[in-house]
Amino acid sequence: MRIPIHREGWPFIGPAIAVNAVLFAVSVWAGLVILPLTIWCVLFFRDPERKAPEGRGLVISPADGKLLPVIRAVPPPELGLGNTPRVRLSIFMDVFNVHVNRMPVNGRVTAMNYRHGRFFNASLDKSSEHNERMAIRVEPEEENRGSDALAVIQIAGLIARRIKCDLLEGQSVRRGERFGILRFGSRLDVYLPPDATVVVRENQRVRAGETVLAKLACE
């Protein structure tokens, strides 16, 4: 069975397979000890195809993982979304989740900002404020122009040390398309427009590109 792999994974998977092969050549037992780590490395960078649901105003999950408690919080100031708290949906990705990130809506990227920071455990609420992050502001497309912009934040975690984002400011994006990856356990935050309606529940398991998180108001 062929496992689709994200291109960011090959610099890790190639050496892991090579080392495992050498160990098997030296000792079968040594090779078997390391084999689970090699398999985990392959699975961590898997990049399965996903089919985004159709419908107006849908906000879908940008990441696989567990939905943390839903709270209201002020979006990152660098995105220019104001000081009014918004509903924040936070998805925690453990080291066994798919880590490829996907766009939650159709629209256009109007602001991006990368900020260095700390590496607290991504399941902690303070990681949203203090951890290293890539903040992205997206204006929903024409059909949802009754809604304000939303924010998608890639956040590094305790183990994660690399945030990869392939977007450019001004780029048009489509719901469900890949836009980046975080390495080795991390978190995605989505700050919703004020008129959005949440349709998921806390602690729910969600899938990037498939699970509907919320619905935007449409004209």
Is residue 128 among the annotated active site residues?
no
Q: Two tokens at 189?
A: 């935050």
Give bridge partners of residue 135 from the DSSP assignment.
Answer: 113, 153
3-state secondary structure at position 188: strand
Residue among 115, 59, 117 nearest 91 (CA): 59
CA distance 27 to 104: 47
Catalytic residue among 61, 128, 147, 186: 186
What are the CA-CA distances from residue 120 to residues 130, 164, 180, 187, 213 (Å)?
Answer: 8, 18, 21, 11, 25
Question: Residue for token digits 């490829």?
Answer: 100
Q: How many CB atoms lie within 10 A of CB 140?
A: 24
CA distance 197 to 211: 14
Q: What DSSP element (H or E) covers 133?
A: strand 133-140
Catalytic residues: 186
